Amino acid sequence: PDDLPFDPARLRRPVRMMLAPAIAGVLAVGAAAVAPATSASIAARALAMPHRIALPDVAGWQRVAPAAGAAAWAPWHPGADHHLFARYGDARGQAVDWALAAYAGQGEGRKLAAFGTGALRQGDRWIRVADLPAIDGGHAMRIVTRSGGGGGTVERIVVTWYRVGWTVTGDDRSVKWATMADRLRGGTQTAVAMHLSAVVRPDAGGVPAAVAAIRAFRAAIGPVGPAVDRIVRPAY
């Protein structure tokens, strides 16, 4: 605590690496001009997103009525340019909800993995009770809500993937790094959140059966990256 914050004797030494004020001013103005020019160049190289996109048909699965009542669920992405949601069922009685939120570009109020957005919103009636092992690279979790009159609960498994530029990740912390890398490379700048969810039915296999249904549906749509690209960049 008694150490000096700096050595006054060092201040008497000649100052090196100085720039003339005129040269420094030119460099400062030039640096300030480069940033918006670079930003405009990157934006010009971004891939445009169609005005209308839709979830596709999936082989072996067909559209079914969405869950009603307490079992109803949807992710929260208020700043997205497109919100897609559909429920699919197969011949074995499995049902999976497919939700997708697409951003043509991220910015203030339009961030893919912002606080309070995603599979659960802030103050949601659904509550996360446990994280589960990743499913095909996606972040999986178990959520619950009260069923209403009976006083019981309804459970769901939700798995989340993010597609940022050409990167696929299930970690929302990696989204920021992927976003910066995409901008620096002059990439697509599109960002997509994809969620697959299934209701846990205790009378039909419980959590393992819900996880198996999500795995089966993910296998049916193919790898996440190409599956998302076919929706948000069909002409690419």
Placement of tokens 């201040």 in the chain: 11
In the predicted structure, residue 195 carries a pLDDT above the cut 70: yes
User: In the chain, where are the structural domains located?
Assistant: 8-45, 62-232
In the predicted structure, residue 126 carries a pLDDT above the cut 50: yes
Residue 222: strand, helix, or coil: coil
Placement of tokens 């995603």 in the chain: 118
Who wins on pLDDT, 126 or 41?
126
Residue 17 confidence class, pLDDT cut points 50, 70, 90: low
DSSP string covering 59-82, please?
Answer: TT-EEEPPP-GGG----B-TT-SE
For the chain, the C-alpha Rg in angstroms (whole number) is 25
Mean pLDDT over all residues of the chain?
Answer: 85
Residue 138 confidence class, pLDDT cut points 50, 70, 90: very high
Q: Taking residues 158-183, what's their average pLDDT? A: 87
Which residues fall within 8 angstroms of residue 180, CB to CB, at 6 or more apart? none
Report angle CA 183, 161, 208 to the nearest 5 degrees: 170
Cα–Cα dist 134/176, whole Å: 20
Q: Specify the pTM.
A: 0.77
Residue 135: what residue type? I
Query: What whole-number percentage of the chain has pLDDT above 70?
Result: 86
